[in-house]
Structure 1
Amino acid sequence: MARYRGPKSKIARKFGEPIFGPDKVFEHKNYPPGMHGLASKRRKVSEYGQQLKEKQKAKYTYGVLERQFRTLFKKAQASKGVTGEVLLQLLESRLDNVVFRLGIAKTRAAARQFVSHKHITVNGKLVNIPSYTVKSGDVIGVREKSKSLEEITGSLQSRRSSQYEWLEWDGAQMAGKFLNRPEREEIPENIKEQLIVELYSK
């Protein structure tokens, strides 16, 4: 599966929630797309269908491709702790996601673009790999030359302070510290990770 670049409202309607953020179209049409949208909403979904849907939701939410997702799952399986929770922690530790959580970018797609276009630094060094795994204590900042970019300054002006317990933001430096991997209850995404574990365990 190539990275999805089509209408995001259509995908949000498919999963029944605004997974890409505030969505006016979804608010007016919060049922599956297509001529049988309302009918398919009432149709009973199989156990496999529910598991697959949950995996797809996680992939679309974090903007991860199938191969990357499977690799992260295997890494989570080999780690200590509950596999599903570790999987979400690994997804949250991706550099593009951390840039989004810090408020440097308004969406994960924008964060991914900022990283690949070399606007972001980790511990003072340029990193242009969106899937880069951020570790506890790492400082993620905006490159000096990029601090005046309208897209970045606009996003930072609308950010909420101290939104996430596992992140620390320094407005003067336009940089944030990744304190630790978040606990499951701290991750706001509505993802039933156990269904994903069950799917891959078959």
Structure 2
Amino acid sequence: MARYTDAVCRQCRREGQKLFLKGDRCYTDKCGVDRRPFAPGQHGQGRNKKLSEYGMQLREKQKARRYYGVLESQFHKYYEMATKRKGVTGENLLSILESRLDNVVYRLGFAMSRPEARQLVGHGHFLVDGKKVDIASYLVKPGQTITLKDSSRSLDKFKANLEANGSRPAPKWLDFDKNTLTAKVVALPVREDIDLPIEEHLIVELYSK
């Protein structure tokens, strides 16, 4: 599947805020947003004019895409899925994005960032209901279990990440046993479970035009 391969700090600078795509680096003085707090490109420093209604909607959609590392075609597919579910379309969209396996791995503390989680899933380190799943976009469902493979538990990468993220609680919709490194999906995520500063109604307005 296609993916973004340019410098990820450019995405944060374009949105004018930290998207936490580089793990620990985002909390240091090396963060691209802190060092160069303006949009990337030749005319980046001049992009301070007030956004139109469409511009605000577009930026919100781009921000959501970049938080979860999703390209446009797949993001639109998720929106179509959200419109077919019962409930509020914008909240359904965020619930679907939050249910991606790479996001679950990040939320559980196995990775320092969503891009790193995507890579770890792609390398086949995780099992869903006892079977290896190496597709980052796999959508987990209530009742399923996610666990780290036995052969991966001794790797320094996971030991370091789990220790660094030890104080970060798992979301309520995931029941995580830190002793067995196994999580159970107890429910679909709802808006209150998602701590990202996204105004999802603007995304719905954009796609409803």
- 1:171 is matched with which residue: 175, 178, 203? 178
**What is the percentage of aligned positions where both structures have the same residue?**
46
User: Is the 1:162–1:168 contact (alpha carbons within 8 Å) kept by the matching residues of 2?
Assistant: no
Where 1:14 maps in the other structure, the secondary structure is: helix
Aligned AA (1:33): P
More divergent stretch after superposition (107-116 vs 31-40): 31-40
1:116 Cα offset (Å) = 1.4
Aligned AA (2:9): S
Gaps of 5+ in 1: none
Gaps of 5+ in 2: none
Where 1:177 maps in the other structure, the secondary structure is: strand
* 1:60 corresponds to 2:66: yes
User: Is the 2:109–2:168 contact (alpha carbons within 8 Å) kept by the matching residues of 1?
Assistant: no
Where 2:79 maps in the other structure, the secondary structure is: helix
Distance (whole Å) between structure 1 residues aligned to residue 40 and residue 197 of structure 2: 20
* 1:157 corresponds to 2:187: no
User: Is the 1:167–1:176 contact (alpha carbons within 8 Å) kept by the matching residues of 2?
Assistant: yes
CA shift in 2, pair 1:12/1:119, >3 Å: same
Where 2:47 maps in the other structure, the secondary structure is: helix
* 1:13 corresponds to 2:13: yes
Match in the other structure for 1:3? 3
Taking structure 1 as the reference length, the TM-score comes to: 0.92
Q: CA RMSD in A?
A: 1.8
Residues 52-201 of structure 1: pairs in structure 2 closer than 5 A: 52-159=58-165, 160-201=167-208
Where 1:168 maps in the other structure, the secondary structure is: strand
User: Is the 1:162–1:169 contact (alpha carbons within 8 Å) kept by the matching residues of 2?
Assistant: no
Aligned AA (2:145): V
1:28 Cα offset (Å) = 3.0
Aligned AA (1:165): K
1:179 Cα offset (Å) = 1.9
1:169 Cα offset (Å) = 1.7
